[in-house]
Amino acid sequence: MPANSDETAPRPAPAPDVALDITGEICPMTFVRTRILLDRSPPGALLRIRLRGREPLANVPRSARELGHTVVSLEPEAPGASAETDPWILTLRKTG
């Protein structure tokens, strides 16, 4: 029996409930702004954070996990992106 094409096709990322661009911020403001958005969002909300730089790429997901939120994905905005200079997309799910 042939496989259903829906089973093998890549699934599109779910649409975020809210989005935040912190590419112009530096630590610690990158997580401060993310934390404010998390605090204002309802449980289960999907947040899309656009960030840039090694420190935010390491610190923002780690800090969100430490608060109990789920890191759904962390991916470069474009293929071949550099952690130093190019934007990345962090998707978080706010927990209870």
Catalytic residue, candidates 16, 17, 19, 27: 27
The yes-or-no answer on residue 15 being catalytic is: no
Q: 49 forms bridges with which residues in the sheet?
A: 20, 90
Show contacts of 75-82: CB within 8 Å, 24+ apart.
77/50
Residues in the chain: 96
End-to-end CA distance of the chain: 43
61 cis-preceded (ω within 30 degrees of 0):
no
Q: Which active-site residues does the annotation give? A: 27
